[in-house]
Amino acid sequence: MPQPQLLCFHMGEEKLSKIRLCAMRYKIRVRVVTQEEEGLALGELLGLPAPESVRHGDGPVAEEMMVMALFPAGMVDALLRLMRQMKTPPVALKAVLTQANSAWDARALYAELAQEREAFAKGTRAEHGEG
């Protein structure tokens, strides 16, 4: 079974240290994604085969974001619970890697998550992009 991985975008060192400490307990590999890598497919960042086409977002990733990948059942809840117990400041934009979004770059995922958060705040439904 592949090792669970956590992609972290635009995180400060203090928060990243707490996340790494929590991830270590579950043997989750933490990968800090640089701004230069934001145009690569999420799957590629995780060492998965490159997709035939990548869904690219328009703008940059403008805030913290975390992608949980290759987690076995129950690990997402366990990690988030431990992060709360360790008083890790929350990461507003979180996603789990899926077959569909593994072919998206970080910018496309960021745009989707930001749109969903805005729609949730307004009590409406997000208009989903293609793919």
- Reference 97, options 11, 35, 34, 33; nearest CA is 33
Determine contact, residues 46/23, Cβ cutoff 8 Å: no
9 by DSSP, 3-state: which? strand
What digits encode the pLDDT tens for the residues 59-97? 899 999 999 999 999 999 999 999 999 999 999 999 999
What digits encode the pLDDT tens for the residues 16-69? 999 999 999 999 999 999 999 999 999 999 999 888 889 999 889 999 999 999
| pTM listed for this prediction | 0.90
How far apart, in Å, are the Cα atoms of 51 and each of 54, 110, 130? 7, 19, 16
Two tokens, residue 92: 């507003």
